[in-house]
Amino acid sequence: MPFIQEILKYGSLSVVGLEKNCGKTECLNYILNRLPREGRKVCVTSIGIDGERIDQVTSTSKPEITLSEGLLFSTSEKHYRMRNLLSEVVGISEETTSLGRVITSRVIREGKVILSGPSSSTSLIRWMKEVKALGSDLVIVDGALSRLSSASPAVTESMILATGAALSSNIPTLVAKTAFVVEMIGLDLMDPSVSKEETVTVSSMAAEFEITPGCRRVMISGALTDRMLNRIAQEKELGAFEVVVKDFTKLFITPRTYGAFVKLGGKLRVESRSKLVAVCVNPLSPSGFRLDSDTLCRELSTKISLPVYDIVKNRYITN
């Protein structure tokens, strides 16, 4: 698929799902199976736990992670001992997680593994530096449920978003929910012409704050919520300034609140952003209900103007 070539333009990639059972692991396996053929040294880890046969939360079956010869992977000591492949240890992190130290190994003979690596953005950044020093020129981070921090531009340069019937069994609703997230990922960067003197910094925990005359930017320190955005929307000169957050992972707002803010002339921007390479869909819900794949891919691609792929079906629709 064309997005594989797009991934090769970057040194780091996150694969994140909007809900459990959205096909994130299938997408990760697809990428891992094809990237080694491009002659890249690839290392993969997970910010959560992925590769288990049975989901510990839902008790449903999950796709296992298969790694081919030559790939590097990082996982906890606990899950490294449980691997079903032949590998050579090339690095051991000094940082300790709840599952032990993080072990980085090279696959000698193809097999299956459970991935459980660094658990925070700070740890991920340190891990990336370590594996880069070991010769990896592309690092892939498998995101965890409801933790999009691994997709922050502070961590990875690019990302793949997985969505599907697990998020909604109604195609229009699924398209709308996914399109909103895609819109937030693609928000414009903040205006470089605005000076510090024209900027007011507001904590996301602040109950009250003042937007001074001449202000052209409200910088949100932390998360942006509906309450905060509604408070800012009360300003009479809303179109005269921009509201800025660090990146899309700091946004905890609803489409309705955001839509009202924009309608009043508001501008929401970010300090930095990742490149969203593609969106992958899983039309099968955990309950067994299946959406029409072609319709879902077509409608979502039209809405977001990005390639949309059904990995399992091995088809894609581009706008």
Task: Average the pLDDT over 177-205 and give the result.
Answer: 92
| CATH number (domain holding residue 284) | 3.40.50
Closest CA to 151 of 182, 105, 179: 182
pLDDT band, very low/low/confident/very high, at 269 (cuts 50, 70, 90): very high
Q: Give a yes or no: residue 108 inside a domain.
A: yes
Percent of the chain's residues with pLDDT above 90: 56
Task: Average the pLDDT over 263-286 and give the result.
Answer: 92
pLDDT value at 163 more than 90: yes
Tell the residue number behind the tokens 């096909």, with chain if given.
Answer: 23
pLDDT value at 153 more than 80: no
Q: Give a yes or no: residue 204 inside a domain.
A: yes
pLDDT band, very low/low/confident/very high, at 276 (cuts 50, 70, 90): very high
Task: Average the pLDDT over 231-254 and give the result.
Answer: 88
pLDDT value at 319 more than 50: no
pLDDT value at 95 more than 80: no
* Burial of residue 296 (number of CB atoms within 10 Å: 0-12, 13-18, 19+): buried
Q: Are 138 and 13 in contact (CB under 8 A)?
A: yes
Range of the domain at 245: 196-270
Same domain? 145 vs 163? yes
Which pLDDT score is estimated for 131? 92
Same domain? 213 vs 240? yes
Same domain? 240 vs 145? no
Which pLDDT score is estimated for 75? 94
Which pLDDT score is estimated for 315? 46
**19 Cβ partners below 8 Å, 6+ apart?**
145, 163, 164, 166, 167
Same domain? 73 vs 200? no
Which pLDDT score is estimated for 148? 64
Identity of the residue numbered 296: L
Same domain? 206 vs 65? no
Same domain? 26 vs 70? yes
Task: Average the pLDDT over 229-234 and give the result.
Answer: 89
Same domain? 42 vs 115? yes
Which pLDDT score is estimated for 47? 86
Same domain? 19 vs 140? yes
- For 54, half-sphere exposure in the C-beta direction (CA atoms, 13 angstrom radius) is 2
Same domain? 179 vs 32? yes
What digits encode the pLDDT tens for the residues 9-66? 999 999 999 888 888 889 999 999 888 656 778 999 998 888 777 665 556 667 889 9
Sheet containing 217-221, strands listed edge to edge, beginning at the edge strand earlier in sequence: 199-203, 217-221, 242-245, 267-270
Hey, which bits of 171-221 come out as E strands?
199-203, 217-221
Identity of the residue numbered 82: M
pLDDT band, very low/low/confident/very high, at 94 (cuts 50, 70, 90): confident
pLDDT band, very low/low/confident/very high, at 121 (cuts 50, 70, 90): confident
* pLDDT, mean over the chain: 87
Q: Give a yes or no: residue 232 inside a domain.
A: yes
Q: C-alpha 319: how far from its chain's center?
A: 22
Q: Give a yes or no: residue 88 inside a domain.
A: yes
pLDDT value at 1 more than 70: no
Higher pLDDT, 311 or 139: 139
pLDDT value at 207 more than 90: no
Task: Average the pLDDT over 110-130 and give the result.
Answer: 89
Task: Average the pLDDT over 112-126 and give the result.
Answer: 88
Exposure class string for 59-81: b at 16+ Cβ within 10 A, else e: eeebbbbbbbeebbbbbbbbbbe
Same domain? 52 vs 90? yes
DSSP letters for 271-300: S---EEEEEEEE-B-TTS-B--HHHHHHHH
Same domain? 201 vs 264? yes
User: In sequence order, what are the beta bridge partners of 106?
Assistant: 72, 88
pLDDT band, very low/low/confident/very high, at 257 (cuts 50, 70, 90): very high
Domains held by the chain: number: 2
Q: Give a yes or no: residue 191 inside a domain.
A: no
pLDDT band, very low/low/confident/very high, at 302 (cuts 50, 70, 90): very high
Q: Are 162 and 15 in contact (CB under 8 A)?
A: yes
Which pLDDT score is estimated for 212? 83
Same domain? 166 vs 200? no
